[in-house]
Chain A
């Protein structure tokens, strides 16, 4: 495609303002309650994902506080065994399925990816909105069950036979299984939207070799979601069938097998760890580059490491099952595979360190959280190396050592980068910069509290305290360490409260951000904060890996997209050459209605299998309403051209 050089003239500013006005009218989202449910723009849906996931972080955190209060002293009677089982199951399920993935993958991905690509919206925005509502549906089912004393009580992975029909009568385990269906369909939908956006909606010139590392990581995560999440849907689906219609997949008396469930679950479960960690690593790569004021060191090794992590993540699931009596060859293989994953993670670490080392470090708030991540995740990684060894694993299996390990990995790999990401993109989302002093208080309170609580748990585990016990006797001598661990929660809670105060205060009185308060290189900083509904006045083109640092002021922009319909540009997956134009389908109430119909069928199926055939017509009607072409075709074309 030839590059034209038109004269824009001295009335350019007026022309730009007219264009902005037209685009704003074309891309605006409907208002009011109906409009809220019809909104399909990625910035709005992304923020909704983040806010909703954060609410569930707080709810999951309240459950964690209850757990620590119950364990603060021996033979405590604050929570009975039945409620305790529900509380720790709800804590784990909420944190993994309702917070970590929806926040780290969906929330940040949906908000940031199209902006970084230079796109005006995410691909398949209606599927994206549908995925959000389905996620909310799953969350309401899980918490609705808990608040009506039907909360799952079988652990966040719901092992059989405990979760099977023989040992878990009632609907508690059913609610867990169906929540999985909701949240995984949601994640799969978003994975398709994000992967397609990255592969097809990149600005011209943004070849694969120039893609920001965050986009590489989101692409790998999307593919990991696409390959991993079907496994947990099969696991929970078969569990539901065993429970509701009398199949025997996990019933050894009728030829079934309980370990089959563990294989299916962990084939999803371990890649899930990287689905949670890689978005964190993506944020760290972005923030470290920005505040080191230099290009990221080792772009290619980092990208190769990310892809390698995506692959290796699928070859380690059996290390969760070392205590089940596997063949020795299998144990050796999965030990080696688990140790091997240290290599790509280590490469990323060293590249971040080298970037900081050779840069001009600015220790702003997002960077502070990255340092927190380095410290915490490193400790989690080292205890992970210990656990990859079968003899060590057998010794500390199901003890608090494992609890300490995965909290260091997950809170280190997700929560610390999440706060880095929130402080980093808060100006873009809100137009204001979060307060630094409060942010530092938040960091130090949380960092200190976290380490008090979870470092102590290593020792409790080494002293033999098992997971998931609602209390312990004084003769076990665990109360001192438990009291220390519980005291850390006070600091963490205070830190979170400071964060909330900071957010609400900064929203009203924070310093105005401008387009690019950090002087970052990403395309998301080239428009006003918050972005207008069309994102980019002109779809940009890209001449280097760090567009706002590399590209000259007269870097070409794309013209020729219509401003009276929501026209978008589709480019080649590899070299990002413009290929054709597409039309964003615009706002619609149908994704919301479809999610209501699907939710009704899912929830009904917990109580009767007939909910599926009864609910199916409703789902079909809403999907046809969603997909049926309304109005004239946006790009009528002569027959000879079609």
Chain B
């Protein structure tokens, strides 16, 4: 006689997709956490900037405010660069590899241009990091943002390189879309830093 047939309820997930875009993606969540960590670091540096402001009667103390030309040029680049980032973010879930590749190419060009301009920006801050606490804060603020800019440039270049291979599909497309989110973060923090070091030194 055969042994009794045993049954067990099951939840079959074989039809679930292997890739998720947007907030369902686990890397998207991790990226949000990374951005929160870095936003906290920026926020604490902003707090440091205003804290030190209360320790000085003049602001900037004995310096000319940073010259505007390179910083503003970079701000324009940041704003315009949102377009290719947005394109990549929109087209990646549609599986449009060509649009993603082109978007990453343009984004890389903007990131390179912003990095080069940033080098010139350092030379027109009208202070040196070792002059006083104000100068130290300005240099660290813009240095921190430069670190993010270069990190994002490298990440974009790596994704661009992948986009020239057949590996740019599935999770890599999701990564490209997440990379755009991070680029938005770099743009937003860049504009706030600009507002701080170019704006408050003139109007505060």
Contacts and interface: CB of A to CB of B under 8 A. Distances in A.
Interface of A: 1-10, 12, 123-124, 127, 188, 191-192, 195-196, 199-200, 204, 226-227, 229-231, 233-234, 238, 241-242, 245-249, 251-252, 254-257, 260, 263-264, 267, 538, 541, 554-561, 569-570, 578-583, 620, 624, 627-629, 633-637, 639-642
Contacts, number: 213
Given A12-B6, A580-B24, A245 B129 contact: yes
Contact of A559 (B10, B37, B133, B137): B10
Contact of B14 (A12, A264, A559): A559
A3 B9 contact: yes
Contact of A226 (B36, B94, B158): B36
B11 A579 contact: no
Contacts of B136: 241-242, 247-249, 256
B154 interface: yes
B162 interface: yes
Interface in B18-47: 18-20, 24, 26, 29-30, 33-34, 36-38, 40-41, 44-45
B5 interface: yes
Given A560-B13, A637-B169, A255 B24 contact: no
A248 B130 contact: yes
Q: Which of B16, B133, B137 has the most CB of A within 10 A?
A: B133
A561 B13 contact: yes
Nearest to A552: B9
B13 A624 contact: no
B140 interface: yes
Contact of A196 (B30, B135, B140): B30
B37 A9 contact: no
A624 to B, nearest CB: 6
Given A10-B2, A642-B173, A255 B55 contact: yes
Given A3-B9, A246-B129, A629-B167, A570 B41 contact: no
B102 interface: no
Contacts of B13: 1, 558-561, 569, 578, 581
Contact of A581 (B18, B34, B158, B169): B18
Contacts of A256: 52, 55, 132-133, 136
Contacts of B203: none
A199 B12 contact: no
B170 A633 contact: yes
Given A196-B33, A255-B134, A642-B169, A5 B18 contact: no
Given A6-B10, A570-B20, 6 more contacts: A4-B11, A247-B136, A249-B48, A249-B136, A580-B20, A633-B169
Contact of A8 (B8, B26, B33, B61): B8
B56 interface: yes
A551 B30 CA distance: 32
A624 B44 CA distance: 30
B30 A579 contact: no
A154 to B, nearest CB: 21
Contacts of B131: 248, 254
A533 to B, nearest CB: 21
A554 B8 contact: yes
A564 to B, nearest CB: 13
B196 to A, nearest CB: 16
Contacts of A581: 13, 16-18
Closest 3 pairs (CB-CB, A-B): A635-B18, A560-B14, A642-B95
B90 interface: no
A581 B162 CA distance: 23
26 contacts: A1-B11, A3-B12, A8-B8, A196-B33, A200-B26, A230-B38, A230-B40, A238-B140, A252-B55, A254-B133, A255-B56, A260-B48, A263-B51, A557-B11, A559-B13, A560-B13, A560-B16, A579-B20, A579-B24, A580-B18, A581-B13, A629-B167, A633-B172, A635-B170, A636-B170, A637-B17
A617 to B, nearest CB: 10
Contact of A10 (B4, B26, B93): B4
A473 B38 CA distance: 50
B92 to A, nearest CB: 9
B169 A231 contact: no
B48 A5 contact: no
Contacts of A4: 9-12
Contacts of A188: 37
A582 B26 CA distance: 9
B204 interface: no
Contacts of A628: 158, 162
A230 B45 CA distance: 10
B44 A264 contact: yes
Contacts of B94: 642
Contacts of B34: 192
Contacts of A234: 41, 44-45, 48
A10 B48 contact: no
A571 to B, nearest CB: 10
Contacts of B17: 580-581, 637, 641
A255 B61 contact: yes
Contacts of B137: 249
A579 B13 CA distance: 9
Contacts of A624: 158
Contact of A255 (B12, B52, B93): B52
B55 A554 contact: no
Among A192, A554, A578, the one with the most B-chain Cβ atoms within 10 Å of its Cβ is A192
Contacts of A264: 44, 48
B29 A199 contact: yes
Contacts of B45: 234
Contacts of A580: 16-20, 24
Nearest to B31: A192
A168 B167 CA distance: 53
Nearest to A6: B10
B101 to A, nearest CB: 15
B48 A578 contact: no
A220 B100 CA distance: 37
A255 B93 CA distance: 51
